[in-house]
Chains A and B, each alone.
Chain A
Amino acid sequence: MDDYIAQLKKAVIDYDMEGVSKLAQEALDHGMDPLQGIENGLAAGIREVGQRFGAGELFLPELVMAAETMRAGAAVLEPRVPKGSDTRTVHRVVLATVQDDIHEIGKNLVATMLTANGFDVVDLGVNQPSETILKKAQEVNAELVGVSALMTTSMPRMKEVISSAQAKGLCPKQKFIVGGAPVTEQYAKEIGSDGTAGDASGAVRLARQLVGAKE
């Protein structure tokens, strides 16, 4: 069984997006515990790839391919995890580009990186009104909300999201991070957010810190 777990880990490290589903099915057929396969196989693989990316050895496409591999493998294993036996802590994040802004490259990178690092990301897309973002965050019980804006004209919408959350009493239980080219650390502080990061890797570090997740 250990052999299949090791093979699943290797599939992620080798970015075997095409072969991982078959491997996961075969592992299940041979009696592998699906939770073990996810935790010590797929997730262990993505952690290793993530570390190598952080050290500058790997590049973004490699990280994303590893994440895709993990996703494909998990799609086979997860439905077979017996109900109630899943004791994993999943940190859920809602991401959105604010209303009046349609720029999402940076936000998408953050989504990718967070997913690759084990977060459960709900990406609402672009041009999202504050109310929709906050409502959705409540619905999915997100610990963290990330909003982005590229244009200085749409930046005030980020403040609107946070002020509205404060008025509803969602803070500080729910954390809010902001991002986008014009955002500085000072601006993030001014509008009452829980922080910003200069790039997608920094966003992962910040998110971990805010939800109290381990490396």
Chain B
Amino acid sequence: MSGISIRRPYPVLGNDDIDQIHAAAVRGLERIGVRIGTAQGRQILKRAGATVDERTQVVKFPSALVEEILRKPRAHVVLYGRDPSQDADLDLSHVHLCNDGTGPLTLDFETGERRPSTSTDLANSARVSNVLDNLHVFWPMVTAMDYPPESRIYADLKVSFMNTPKHILYASGASGDEARRLKAMGAAVAGGEKELRKRPIMSSVQTTIAPLQLDGGMMDAAFVFGEAGIPIAIFTMPTPGATGPVTLAGSVTVAAMEFLAGLTMTRLANPGCPVIWGCGVTPLDMKTTTRAGGSPEHGLTGVAITQLAHSFGVPSLVGGFDTTASVPGTQAVLEAFPQGLSVVLGGADLIVGLGLLEDAKTLALEQLFIHDEMVNMIRRLADGIVVNDETIAMDVIEKVGIGKTFLGQRHTMEHLHSEHFIPKLIDRRSFDLWSRDGRKSVEDRARDMVRAALAKPLSHPLDPKVVQELDAIVQGSMPVATA
């Protein structure tokens, strides 16, 4: 499944802006530094010439060290699928889409009840994702609340591997031990550690803590993944106005400091490891105190960080198509569209955010089809207008002549599908026909599509022996029952 190419990118930063933020972030790392929770990480940085205060765990980075890391050749990041036709090549010139993930709640598909998510919901979300036109990478959409907390992340990975052949991107690994166990699951599916290194079918998202903190466990996990060749996304998310300056440029700079600290450390530990700059920089809503995931600012910062990431030679992973709405409907679409449009036209390498409500909290399966249609429309915008002799079609204009129709021209049929967006979900019928057909809403029609997707047979099922291995790892993580 190929990514979306953007004929005329829509950047939000000028080259001067990129240079200014770059310079400020490097200066900030030298003067203020970042708190690094991992002893291993501090040691690596100290050896490379950083100033480390072991009491406060604050590490200050000489600007020369950061610049040297940025000058090193970049690692080409490919997010491999179990099914090779689903590989997502983050080549810095195509946009890829990924689900929103780890939602604790689900709107029950049959009853509409808002309840804790289960492993069945996760399996269903994968099976619906498998039929979408524009979903390149799968993030376990919900977390299996029917498993004990200690085992949940492993159960989530197992159920995802079992239900989709796409690459699995995963926010997990809060310690080195967790990362080793997850890596073992990936190796079981890939057919060994060597195979996993060659075609890493999973990647990991490691979150930083704004402002300016890199958690110890998260980074220890990053070292384990990096050593195994598993791509790491260092996910920075200062909240403008709360954990970052209210100005977007300021919060983007904080994000840049956190990312450059993480990049420097992980590259020193494992020079060739594939690293992605992840971000979800969106304001705190100052009235409701919620995170405004569906804000236009989220769309702007995603593009700004994509531009900075590309200037550093790394791909970006940005939030997009988010909403804080509690139910599917107008607000969910109203928030998702401008933000999604911004990050697609801005050329983000991987956009995360399809299919959840309440700012990445609640699964509504029908949202996936609504977002997929939205992506198809934006994809059309991204493709723009191609101008050449064939598209100007003067010969056809002449052939048809004055007052006749172009409908019967071969030119029309040949170019229709590339020139016109053809809806799958949007209903363009007249009122009378729509009315006679039961007056279905967009959500109703999306629900019909969910039913059809769930009825489809599963492609690329896992070998039962592999499932057994995964089961054993999940079982091993279960808390021991006390009498």
Q: Chain B residues near A108: list those with CB within 8 A.
A: 405
CB-CB under 8 A for A198 and B430, given A15-B413, A59-B416, A61-B413: yes
Where the two chains meet, the residues of B that have a C-beta atom closer than 8 Å to any C-beta of A are 405, 407-410, 412-413, 416, 422, 429-434
A185 to B405, CA, bound (A): 28
Q: List 6 A-B contacts (CB under 8 A).
A: A15-B410, A64-B408, A65-B409, A184-B432, A198-B434, A202-B432
Q: Chain A residues near B405: list those with CB within 8 A.
A: 64, 108, 112
CB-CB under 8 A for A199 and B433, given A61-B413, A62-B413, A65-B413: yes
Where the two chains meet, the residues of A that have a C-beta atom closer than 8 Å to any C-beta of B are 15, 17, 59-62, 64-65, 67-68, 108, 112, 184-185, 196-199, 202
Which 10 A-B pairs have CB atoms at the shortest separation, nearest pair first? A198-B430, A198-B433, A198-B432, A64-B407, A61-B412, A64-B408, A61-B413, A68-B408, A65-B408, A61-B407
CB-CB under 8 A for A67 and B408, given A15-B413, A61-B413, A62-B413: yes
CB of B242 to closest CB in A, whole Å = 49
Residue of A nearest to B406 (CB): A61
CB-CB under 8 A for A61 and B416, given A17-B408, A68-B408: yes
Q: Chain A residues near B433: list those with CB within 8 A.
A: 197-199, 202
B408 and A185 contacting across the interface, CB-CB below 8 Å: no
Q: Chain B residues near A61: list those with CB within 8 A.
A: 407-409, 412-413, 416
CB of A215 to closest CB in B, whole Å = 18
Residue of B nearest to A125 (CB): B403
Chain A CB count within 10 A is highest, among B408, B409, B413, for B408
Chain A CB count within 10 A is highest, among B407, B429, B433, for B407
By secondary structure, the A interface counts as helix
Q: Chain B residues near A67: list those with CB within 8 A.
A: 408
A199 and B410 contacting across the interface, CB-CB below 8 Å: no
A93 to B228, CA, bound (A): 73
CB of B56 to closest CB in A, whole Å = 65
Q: Chain A residues near B410: list those with CB within 8 A.
A: 15, 17, 65
A59 to B308, CA, bound (A): 44
Q: Chain A residues near B408: list those with CB within 8 A.
A: 17, 61, 64-65, 67-68
A197 and B432 contacting across the interface, CB-CB below 8 Å: yes
Q: Chain B residues near A112: list those with CB within 8 A.
A: 405, 407
A185 and B432 contacting across the interface, CB-CB below 8 Å: yes
4 A-B pairs besides A198-B429, A199-B433, A202-B432 with CB distance below 8 A are: A60-B407, A61-B408, A198-B432, A199-B429
Chain B CB count within 10 A is highest, among A15, A64, A112, A196, for A64
A112 to B429, CA, bound (A): 18
CB of A187 to closest CB in B, whole Å = 11
A67 to B430, CA, bound (A): 24
A199 to B432, CA, bound (A): 9
CB of A198 to closest CB in B, whole Å = 3
A152 to B107, CA, bound (A): 46
Q: Chain B residues near A199: list those with CB within 8 A.
A: 429-430, 433
Q: Chain B residues near A62: list those with CB within 8 A.
A: 413
Residue of A nearest to B422 (CB): A59
